[in-house]
Structure 1
Amino acid sequence: MTLLDAPRKAAPAAKARAAARPARRGGQVLRWTALRLLALAVLVAAWQAVVAAGVWPRVLVPAPADVWRALVRASTVHEGVRGVSGHLLAEHLAVSLRRIATGTGYAALAGVPLGLLIGTVRPLAVVLEPAVTFLRTLPPLAYLSLLVIWFGIDESPKIWLLVIAALPPITAATAAAVRGVPGDLVEAARALGAGPVSTLFSVRLPAALPEILTGVRIAVGIAYTSVVAAETINGVPGIGGMIRDAQRYNQTDLVVAGLLAIGVSGIVLDALFRGVERAAVPWRGRA
């Protein structure tokens, strides 16, 4: 075999390996899915065993069947009653997700420019970073009452609470990402004649975008954990308001059903955001 024949013989092997990759990926996805389903089945079985053993009263720890019936009841019209508090479970979730999207969107609009300024202008960092850290350490319930005094009990305090909860992680992630841009890239841009503004938008921002999107994803999670606190005040419709009303009447099965709905929707939301990240920054981990 000559050197000219080697590429010809290697090409079919490379094509065969490339064709086999999707099948291997599909098999791996099936294995991981089966493992997750098995873990879920074990968890439900352990839950049912605890209920059957009577470790705690049924009013404190409902059976999986009770929670399932609560989910069905909250998602349908039964005996002339529409879901819970006049709204279906999907409607409660949709309102909460809309609040999360609005609060996180406003936080991103303010947090990304603020993080860029903190990451590039040292005097501003000295002044603004302590304020961002101060907000990041405040639990949402600590300032909810103040927001209610300022804005009343309608939508405004809920949105403001989610904005304040989501702003610090976005700002901190953006500032850290901008500072972490390799100096060689910045110096190369300057050597080619780029000014400070051009360097910021053509070099620093694209290089920092993966970490910025990670900060936004973390902020979405924080906003989701804060929405229940935001909806303790006039939160119906809303998943947090639904859970609060169920807690008032000791409807533990409905509380657990609401928590499961939050958890599952959070997993789906995070998976969607990961997909957006992969599409928006395909170079992540390759450079």
Structure 2
Amino acid sequence: MPKSRLFLGKPATPGKVYGAPGAGRSGFISFMTAVALIALWFVVTRMGLIKPIFLPSPVAVYDKFIEAMTEGVANSTLAQHTGASLARVMGAFFLALVTAVPIGVLMGVNRIARGLFDPIIEFYRPLPPLAYLPLVIIWFGIGEFPKIFLIYLAIFAPMAIAARAGVKSVSIEQIHAAYAMGASSTQIIWHVILKAAMPEIFTGMRIGIGVGWTTLVAAEMVAASRGLGFMVLNAAQYLASDTVIMGIIVIGFFAFAFDLLVRYLERLLIPWKGKV
């Protein structure tokens, strides 16, 4: 009976009898899926099956993109809106990176730190940012800091939990072997635990940057005058669906681009992932 091709994207690697489930490249399939969706968008709007106020045509969205780049929308150009949002998201991301990862690692290696931080993180992690947005405004006002702080809180929890999970995934045999060779506790953490936890940490970074972009719209509800989230919210008030869709596409583009960047850094910095 011939072997099923369901799980095989290409012939099995030499030395392997069976291909792994899900093996093979899917880039072409993803590209064709995107092309099919855009083509369906063209057909539906061209035939008038959906009113433009609900779903404008791709041409109308493109024209709005050009207008936003040149003349601007909501009192700023698209570049200015994008720059403001990038500054907020990336500022919150790097702030979370230098705080959440060390705390997550500390939670994994120290029971006192775990007892201190775990209840706090697990309590607020499931809460939607809009739930504690009023409290952030009361505490910090309506300036730039509360916007960044709101995004920071959303990113912090998944990154800290991922770092802690990475520490817990370290093989105890590796730790015992390092101790047997005379390594100190600091060397164990730095050279054994942290390196072994890197794949989980990068997963937390990918999740965190995604959560940061999803929190952007909520953050820019706080008396913002620029930003992609502000632009989308402002357009929604006037039922300008072409601007809304254009803003969603731009946000999605940058979120996807940063995810690809983190994936690239992951392959570059931890080439052993999935091989040991």
TM over 0.5: yes
Alignment-mate amino acid for residue 102 of structure 1:
G
Alignment-mate amino acid for residue 262 of structure 1:
I
1:134-168 Cα shifts (integer Å, max 9, x gaps): 12111111111111111111111101101110111
Choose from 152, 156, 159 the match for 2:145. Answer: 156
Alignment-mate amino acid for residue 97 of structure 1:
L
DSSP-derived class of the 1:216 partner: helix
Alignment-mate amino acid for residue 123 of structure 1:
I
Distance 2:137 2:215 in 1: 15
Superposed CA RMSD: 1.8
The equivalent residue for 2:99 is 110
Alignment-mate amino acid for residue 272 of structure 1:
L
The alpha-carbon deviation at position 45 of structure 1 amounts to 2.2
Choose from 174, 196, 215 the match for 1:185. Answer: 174
DSSP-derived class of the 2:239 partner: coil
The alpha-carbon deviation at position 226 of structure 1 amounts to 0.4
Alignment-mate amino acid for residue 74 of structure 1:
A
Contact in 1 for aligned 2:205/2:262 (Cα 8 Å)? no
The equivalent residue for 2:262 is 273
User: Are positions 1:32 and 2:35 aligned together?
Assistant: no
Choose from 19, 43, 61 the match for 1:67. Answer: 61
Percent identity reads: 36
DSSP-derived class of the 2:125 partner: helix
1:208-239 Cα shifts (integer Å, max 9, x gaps): 11211221121011001101110112223210
Distance 1:189 1:37 in 2: 47
Alignment-mate amino acid for residue 27 of structure 2:
W
Structure 1 gap ranges (5+): 1-27, 78-82
1:72-221 matches, within 5 Å, as 72-77=66-71, 83-221=72-210
TM-score, normalising length: structure 2: 0.86
Distance 2:190 2:32 in 1: 48
User: Are positions 1:283 and 2:272 aligned together?
Assistant: yes
Return the structure number with greater helix share: 1
Distance 1:230 1:282, change over 3 A: same
Structure 2 gap ranges (5+): 1-23
Count of residue pairs the alignment pairs up:
253
Alignment-mate amino acid for residue 45 of structure 1:
A
The alpha-carbon deviation at position 39 of structure 1 amounts to 2.4
User: Are positions 1:56 and 2:50 aligned together?
Assistant: yes
Distance 2:34 2:247 in 1: 18
The alpha-carbon deviation at position 53 of structure 1 amounts to 4.2
TM-score, normalising length: structure 1: 0.83
